[in-house]
C-alpha cells in the first residue's frame, strides 16, 4: 500500500468531470486559469450545489436538495449571458444560503432559523457552526444490492452520481468540494468498470475500498487542518503548511516557499468555511501556481502537471517526497551556532521561526508533521528563555539535544503502540482502545468512540509494518485524536480533554497520551438508555452483529468506568459464546432454556433480573454474563426488549 500522504493542498483541478464537452488542457501554464475554473464551476453547478446544501443542512432529503439545485441552475442560466445583473455579482455562497433560508418551512423543519435571521458574515459563521461532525443521527451509508445499483446507475448516471455525492457530502460535512468531486469521479470509474462485469459484487468489493480509503484519509486531514485553523488561527495553519511543503519539496527556496504557503493559507478559509465555489477557485489557483513554478519546486512534479487535470490533483497529493539536495548540511548553523540568533529573531520573529521550521523540515523527511511542529515550538520556547540570559549562545547551543529529547519521547509512544499492536492483535487492540478512549472521554457518543477506536487500530495496522513507521503512525493517530477537539466549534467534553485540545496543536498527542480516566465523570445510574439487545441479534449479518457488540462493549465501559481491559475481554468472550452457541442451536429459545437447566447457584428468578443495569451495577460483569446464560429465553427476551435496546 502507498505510504500515507498528507498533503492535500493542491488540485490541478479544472477540467471536466461529468461534462465531456470541454477539451482538456494538459499544460496548465498555458491556460487562462480563471476562465477554465469558472467554466468548470458553471458546468458543475448542480454537483457543487448538492455538496454545499447537503453539508450545511445534513438532515435535508435529496428531494429538498434538488429544489435548490434547480434554483442555482436557473441563476446560472440567467447570469451566463449577462453577468452585470445585480444577483450575479454576489458571492455564490451568500446567494445559496439565502436560497436555503427561503425554502418554505425548511429552516423550521431542520432547526436553522436562527441562522437565517442573521446576515453576511454572521450568517456564514452560523451555517458553519451548524455542521455536525458526529453523524450518528443519519442512517448508515446505503449499501444497496450491487446489481440493482448498476441498473439504477446505467439508467440515470447523472442522477445516480448526484445522489452519491449527496450521501457522501451529508456524512462528511467538512470535506472540501474538490476532494469530494475526485471521490465521485473515482466512484464513477469503479461503477463503469464493475457494472459491465460478470461478478459485479466482487468487483465492487475489490475496487471500492481504495476510493473509500482516499475519502477517509483526506476527510480526516481536511477536518483537522480546518480545526487547527479555526482554533489556533492562521499562524498554526502556516506552520503546518511550511512543514508539509518543506518536507515534500526540500529543494524549494525559502522565498518561494513563503509565497506558496501564503497563497495556500489565504485560500484555505473558503474551503474550511464550506464555500464550495471559493474553495474550487482557490485550489485551482494554487495548483496553477505550483505547476507554473514547478521547476523551482520539485523535479517530480513534471509528471503530475502533464496529466489530465483531474488526475494531476491526485498525483500531487500522493507525490513522493523529493530527494534532499546533495549539498544540504545536516543542520543549519544559523539557528544554533551563530552568535546573533537573538538579534535575528528580534528583527523578524515570525519569518525567523518559519525559516527555522523550513530548514529543519527539509532535513528531516522521516519525521511526522506534528513532530516538526513540536520541534518548532521547542525552538521558539528555547529562544524565549535563552535570549533573556546573559550568554544566549551558551544557552541555545544545546538546542539539538532538546529536539532529540522531544523526538525520543514521540518515538517511544509510537514504538509502544506498535508493540501493543503486535502483541494483542487487531481484536484485542480494539478492546484496548474501547477502554482507553471511553475512560478518557466517556461523554462522547458510543458511535464516535467505537469508530475512533477502530480507526486507530486500522491506522496502526497500516503503519506499524512500514519502514516509515514513526511518521505514518504519528501523522495518522494525531489526525484521529484531533477528532476529539472538533472542527467548527470548540467542543467541551471534559476539562482534561478540553485542556489537551486548547493548549498546543503540536503537543496534542503527548497531552492525550498522558490522560487517564476522566475524574469528573459520573456513570449513569441506570443502563436503560445505554443498552439494547434485540432478538434479531441472531439474524444479524456478521458486520452488523460486530457493530452491535462493539457498541455494547463501549456502553459497558461507560457504565463501569473502572473496568479493566481483561474484564472487558472476558465479558466479550462470554457474551460472544452465549450468542454464538444459542444462535447456532435449533432455536435460540431452546438454547437458553438448556442453559437454564444447569444453574450454578446463581439466582435467576426474574426478580433478580429486574434490571440489567442494576445487575451490572451490583455484580461484576463476569457474573452478569454467567447469569445471561442461565436465564430463560422468554425472560431474557422480555427483559432485553423491554428494558434495554441495543
Ligand atoms: C435548535 O437549535 C438551537 C440553536 O442551535 C438549539 O439550542 C436547540 O436545542 C435546537 N433544537 C433542537 C430541537 O434540536
Ligand atoms: C540528534 O539526533 C540525530 C539523529 O538521531 C543525531 O544524528 C545527532 O547527533 C543528535 N544530536 C545530539 C546533539 O544529540
Ligand atoms: C475556540 O477557542 C479559541 C481560543 O481558544 C478561539 O480563538 C476560537 O475563536 C474559538 N473557536 C470557535 C469556533 O468558537
For the chain, the structural domain boundaries read 1-323, 410-513, 535-644
Burial label, 295 (beta-carbon count in 10 A; 0-12, 13-18, 19+): exposed
Q: Distance from the CA of 128 to the center of ligand 1, in angstroms?
A: 15
Q: Is 313:12 a contact under the CB 8 Å cutoff?
A: yes
Q: Is the CB of 231 under 6 A from ligand 3?
A: yes
Least reliable range by pLDDT among 285-299, 532-546, 585-599, 629-643: 629-643
Distance CA 557, CA 568 (A): 8
Quick: pLDDT tens for 386-406. Answer: 999 999 999 999 999 999 999
C-alpha cell at position 76: 446560472
C-alpha cell at position 465: 509494518
pLDDT of residue 603: 34
Q: Which of 111, 114, 131 to mutate to test the pocket of ligand 1 (most atoms within 8 A of CB)?
A: 111
Q: Look at the alpha carbons of 437, 440, 442, 443 in this order and tell me if their dihedral is positive or negative.
A: negative
Q: Per CATH, the architecture of 410-513 is what?
A: Orthogonal Bundle (1.10)
Question: In the CATH hierarchy, which fold is given to the domain comprising 535-644?
Answer: Serum Albumin; Chain A, Domain 1 (1.10.246)
Question: With bands split at pLDDT 50, 70 and 90, how would you rate the model's confidence at 318?
Answer: confident
At 292, which helix (H) or strand (E)? helix 276-292
Quick: pLDDT tens for 43-69. Answer: 889 999 999 999 999 999 999 999 999
Q: Strands (DSSP E) along 430-495, which ranges?
A: none
Which residue's CA is the nearest one to ligand 3's atom 10?
Answer: 231
Which residue's CA is the nearest one to ligand 2's atom 1?
Answer: 404
Question: With bands split at pLDDT 50, 70 and 90, how would you rate the model's confidence at 534?
Answer: low
Instruction: Summarize the confidence of residues 514-534 as an average pLDDT.
Output: 71
C-alpha cell at position 241: 503548511
Q: Is 37:278 a contact under the CB 8 Å cutoff?
A: no
Burial code (b: 16+ CB inside 10 Å, e: under 16) for 39-78 equals bbbebbbbbbbbbbbbbbbbebeeebbbebbebbeebbee
Q: Is a pLDDT exceeding 80 seen at residue 607?
A: no
Question: Between 629 and 217, whose confidence is greater?
Answer: 217
Q: Left if phi > 0, otherwise alpha if psi is -120 to 50, otherwise beta: which for 486? A: left
Q: Which of 490, 493, 502, 508 to mutate to test the pocket of ligand 3 (most atoms within 8 A of CB)?
A: 490
Q: Is the CB of 502 under 6 A from ligand 3?
A: yes
Calculate what percentage of the chain has a pLDDT beyond 90.
Answer: 53
Q: What is the mean pLDDT of the chain?
A: 82
Q: Is 99:71 a contact under the CB 8 Å cutoff?
A: yes
Question: Between 283 and 15, whose confidence is greater?
Answer: 283
Q: Is the CB of 157 under 6 A from ligand 3?
A: no
Question: Where do the H-state alpha helices sit in 103-253?
Answer: 106-109, 113-116, 120-130, 146-155, 157-171, 177-194, 200-232, 234-248
In this structure, the number of other CB atoms found within 10 A of the CB of residue 14 comes to: 29
Q: Is the CB of 114 under 6 A from ligand 1?
A: yes
410-513 matches 535-644 in fold = yes
Quick: pLDDT tens for 176-226. Answer: 998 999 899 899 999 999 999 999 999 999 999 999 989 988 888 888 889
Q: Is 137:105 a contact under the CB 8 Å cutoff?
A: no
Q: Is 442:518 a contact under the CB 8 Å cutoff?
A: yes
Amino acid at each position: 500500500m502507498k505510504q500515507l500522504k498528507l498533503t492535500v493542498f493542491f488540485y490541478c483541478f479544472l477540467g471536466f468531470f461529468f461534462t465531456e464537452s470541454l477539451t482538456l488542457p494538459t499544460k496548465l501554464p498555458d491556460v487562462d486559469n480563471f476562465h477554465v475554473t469558472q467554466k468548470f464551476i458553471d458546468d458543475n453547478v448542480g454537483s457543487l450545489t448538492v455538496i454545499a446544501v447537503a453539508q450545511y443542512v445534513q438532515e435535508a432529503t435529496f428531494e429538498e436538495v434538488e429544489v435548490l439545485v434547480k434554483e442555482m441552475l436557473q441563476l446560472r442560466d440567467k447570469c451566463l449571458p449577462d453577468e452585470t445583473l445585480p444577483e450575479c455579482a454576489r458571492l455564490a455562497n451568500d446567494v445559496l444560503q439565502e436560497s436555503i433560508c427561503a425554502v418554505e418551512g425548511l429552516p423550521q423543519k431542520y432547526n436553522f432559523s436562527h441562522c437565517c435571521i442573521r446576515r453576511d458574515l454572521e450568517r456564514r459563521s452560523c451555517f458553519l457552526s451548524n455542521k455536525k461532525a458526529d453523524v450518528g443521527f443519519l442512517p448508515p451509508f446505503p449499501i444497496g444490492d450491487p446489481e440493482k445499483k448498476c441498473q439504477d446507475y446505467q439508467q440515470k448516471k447523472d442522477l445516480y452520481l448526484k445522489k452519491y455525492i449527496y450521501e457522501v457530502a451529508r456524512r462528511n460535512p467538512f470535506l472540501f468540494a474538490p476532494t469530494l468531486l475526485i471521490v465521485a469521479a473515482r466512484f464513477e470509474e469503479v461503477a463503469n468498470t464493475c457494472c459491465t462485469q460478470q461478478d459485479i459484487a466482487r468487483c465492487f468489493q475489490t475496487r471500492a475500498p481504495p476510493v473509500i480509503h482516499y475519502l477517509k484519509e483526506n476527510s480526516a486531514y481536511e477536518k483537522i487542518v480546518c480545526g487547527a485553523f479555526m482554533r489556533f488561527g492562521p499562524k498554526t495553519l502556516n506552520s503546518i503548511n511550511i512543514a508539509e511543503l518543506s518536507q515534500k519539496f526540500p529543494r524549494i527556496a525559502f522565498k518561494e516557499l513563503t509565497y506558496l504557503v501564503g497563497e495556500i493559507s489565504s485560500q484555505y478559509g473558503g474551503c474550511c468555511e464550506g464555500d464550495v465555489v471559493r474553495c474550487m477557485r482557490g485550489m485551482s489557483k494554487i495548483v496553477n501556481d505550483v505547476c507554473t513554478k514547478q521547476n523551482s519546486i520539485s523535479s517530480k512534479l513534471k509528471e503530475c502537471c502533464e496529466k489530465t487535470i483531474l488526475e494531476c490533483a491526485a498525483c500531487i497529493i500522493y507525490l513522493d517526497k523529493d530527494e534532499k539536495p546533495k549539498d544540504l548540511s545536516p543542520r543549519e548553523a544559523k539557528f544554533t551556532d551563530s552568535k546573533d540568533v537573538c538579534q535575528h529573531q528580534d528583527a523578524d520573529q515570525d519569518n525567523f521561526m518559519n525559516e527555522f521550521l523550513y530548514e529543519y523540515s527539509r532535513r528531516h523527511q522521516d519525521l511526522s508533521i506534528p513532530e516538526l511542529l513540536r520541534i518548532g515550538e521547542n525552538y521558539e520556547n528555547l529562544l524565549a528563555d535563552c535570549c533573556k540570559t546573559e550568554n544566549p549562545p551558551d544557552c541555545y547551543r544545546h538546542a539539538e539535544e532538546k529536539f532529540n529529547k522531544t523526538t525520543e519521547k514521540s518515538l517511544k509512544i509510537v514504538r509502544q503502540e506498535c508493540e501493543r499492536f503486535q502483541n494483542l492483535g487487531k481484536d484485542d487492540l480494539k478492546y484496548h482502545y474501547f477502554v482507553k478512549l471511553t475512560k478518557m472521554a466517556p461523554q462522547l457518543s458510543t458511535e464516535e468512540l467505537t469508530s475512533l477506536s477502530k480507526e486507530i487500530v486500522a491506522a496502526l495496522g497500516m503503519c506499524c509494518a512500514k519502514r516509515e513507521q514513526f511518521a505514518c503512525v504519528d501523522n495518522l493517530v494525531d489526525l484521529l485524536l484531533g477528532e476529539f477537539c472538533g472542527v467548527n466549534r470548540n467542543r467541551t467534553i471534559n476539562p482534561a480533554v478540553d485542556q489537551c485540545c486548547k493548549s498546543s496543536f503540536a503537543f496534542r498527542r503527548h497531552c492525550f497520551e498522558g490522560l487517564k480516566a476522566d475524574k469528573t465523570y459520573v456513570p449513569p445510574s441506570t443502563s436503560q438508555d445505554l443498552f439494547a439487545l434485540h432478538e434479531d441479534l441472531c439474524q444479524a449479518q456478521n458486520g452488523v452483529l460486530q457493530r452491535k457488540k462493539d457498541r455494547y462493549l463501549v456502553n459497558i465501559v461507560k457504565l463501569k468506568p473502572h473496568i479493566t481491559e481483561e474484564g472487558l475481554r472476558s465479558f466479550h468472550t462470554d457474551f460472544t459464546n452465549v450468542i454464538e452457541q444459542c444462535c447456532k442451536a435449533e432455536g435460540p429459545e431452546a438454547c437458553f432454556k438448556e442453559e437454564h437447566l444447569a444453574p450454578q447457584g446463581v439466582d435467576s428468578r426474574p426478580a433478580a433480573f429486574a434490571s440489567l443495569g442494576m445487575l451490572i451495577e451490583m455484580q461484576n460483569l463476569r457474573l452478569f454474563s454467567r447469569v445471561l446464560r442461565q436465564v430463560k429465553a422468554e425472560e431474557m427476551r422480555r427483559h432485553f426488549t423491554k428494558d434495554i435496546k441495543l
